[in-house]
Structure 1
């Protein structure tokens, strides 16, 4: 794979839109680490992060409202590891998992920030990321940037592993010439350190958890593999960016999140009944 110098992709002022605290490191941590002049990098965290993991109340040593504050502190620590100033982090606090319900205020706030910062590029979640908050933030970015000469929109990938796709990697269905892969092998250890700052995501943070939100294999994968970016082209909206299997991708995009919800519910019931995870799969 031919990789790209991140400074060539992001030469100017960069505004990164993260639905949750950790998305920016998962998708862009190695790239952030390589970019010079970190003061030109700004990061927006759109939601309060209160739903990952979902605090079970009576089973937790912490009140549910504590998780957003914890995740803010984790983001400050993670970005500090990567060299981004704390003053460049924006915590908007929209309700986690409900960002689509706040489309109008989200767009207003984003528009105001773009007017203030005048970024050259806007780094946003990929249009087919499966999480509804990722999709809502992508739509907001497109709406605000429509008709503007700047900023240029560049997409990043978080939910690219799809079990129902051949090869299980959504990025394989995009022509390689459209993608910008960034080699982060020299930043792998630093990216892992930044991700480990998100202890609420990389450990069994609550006593009731049997696995971390981001298990070690996932952390290792995203710290080892190239980070891949896609310049948004208005001539290829939606599924037009794929070179094959467009109908199947649209179907799987709707189906896989529902299957995951059913699986999670089954696992939850099994754990309550004392059945090991392997028996519930």
Structure 2
């Protein structure tokens, strides 16, 4: 198992990319190791198949330069039923990969799975630093230095933004890999994702950029204050 600089976690393949593909692209370009964990295969998605979604995720990874991608195969729309197992598995992965930063979905979202993952990751990050936590005791305790929350469907004022202007087109190319989700095809049913969703992502990143004095930015929320040694 490779150690990572950033571990980004989502419920479904494409969640992480919607909220943080630009940030991950920048990290990869700096030579940092980034990994993505999807907790489910999104088997209940209205469009596409599990097999196609995995192909799309692999194509996205090629652009992102991901070091590793994991999928725990928990049930789509059933994360609360496997909550404790999910926390334990995420703790193990954090201890194995020892990321400096963990990214999770913002805790308020129209999709309940995104909210479930947010809670699962928060508990896992905390428990991963407890030496006697009963996950895999062969792995030493480790707690990432930062846990930040990215946006999928909801938007609030971010605590921190990352200037993604230089990689904005790259981010959009990553999202376009998920054609089954974001494009209307012959056998597609209409969903919020294939009805102008990518345009709304562009608007959000442009808004965060305008507020920050750059062209495009991804926003993140922190549940705890940052500590600075100077301004």
- The TM-score bracket by the shorter chain reads 0.7 to 0.9
Q: Which sections of structure 2, spanning at least 5 residues, go unmatched?
A: 130-141, 206-216, 226-231
- The 3-state SS of whatever aligns with 2:73 is strand
User: Is the counterpart of residue 233 in structure 1 residue 224 in structure 2?
Assistant: yes
TM-score with structure 1 length normalisation? 0.63
Distance 1:33 1:227, change over 3 A: same
Alignment CA distance shift 1:221-1:186 (3 Å): farther
57, 64, 75: which is aligned to 1:75?
57
1:13-35 Cα deviation digits (max 9, x unpaired): 11100111111111011111111
1:171 aligns with 2:156: yes
Is it true that 1:193 corresponds to 2:173 in the alignment?
yes
Distance 2:74 2:160 in 1: 31
Q: How far apart, CA to CA, are the structure 2 residues paired with 1:220 and 1:186? A: 18
List runs of 5+ in structure 1 lacking aligned partners: 1-11, 56-66, 161-169, 235-281
- Equivalences for residues 110-259 of structure 1 within 5 A: 110-146=90-126, 148=129, 150-151=143-144, 152-160=146-154, 170-172=155-157, 179-205=159-185, 207=187, 209-210=189-190, 213-215=193-195, 217-223=196-202, 225=205, 226-233=217-224
Question: Aligned-pair distance for 1:208?
Answer: 5.1
Which residue is 1:266 aligned to? none
Q: SS of the residue aligned with 1:171?
A: coil
| Cα deviations by residue, 1:104-138 (Å, 9 ceiling, x for unpaired) | 11111111111111111110111112311111111
CA distance in 2, matches of 1:199, 1:208: 11
Instruction: Give the whole-Å Cα distance in 2 for the aligned partners of 1:118 and 1:186.
Output: 28
The higher radius of gyration belongs to 1
**C-alpha contact 1:22 1:75 (8 A) present in aligned 2:** yes
How far does residue 214 in structure 1 lie from its aligned partner after superposition? Answer: 3.5
Corresponding residue SS for 2:44 = coil
CA distance 1:121–1:128, change in 2 (3 Å): same
User: What secondary structure is seen at the aligned counterpart in 2 of 1:127?
Assistant: coil
Name whichever structure is richer in helix by fraction.
1
Q: Does the 8 A contact of 1:74 with 1:198 survive in 2?
A: yes
1:214–1:22 Cα change, 3 Å:
farther
- CA deviation profile, 1:159-190 (whole Å, cap 9, x unmatched): 21xxxxxxxxx414xxx6xx112222322221
Distance in 1 (CA, whole Å) between partners of 2:123 and 2:104 is 12
Structure-2-length-normalised TM-score: 0.76
1:43 aligns with 2:23: no
Query: How far has the Cα of 1:39 moved from its partner?
Result: 5.4
Change (3 A) 1:71 1:38: farther
Distance 1:124 1:77, change over 3 A: same
Q: 1:96 aligns with which of 56, 76, 81?
A: 76
Aligned residues: 196
- Runs of 4 or more consecutive aligned structure 1 residues displaced over 3 Å after TM superposition: 36-39
| Cα distance in 2 for residues equivalent to 1:230 and 1:191 | 20
Q: Deviations over 1:196-234 (max 9, x none)?
A: 11011012246252457243x321332461210122218
CA–CA separation in structure 2 for the residues paired with 1:186 and 1:70: 29
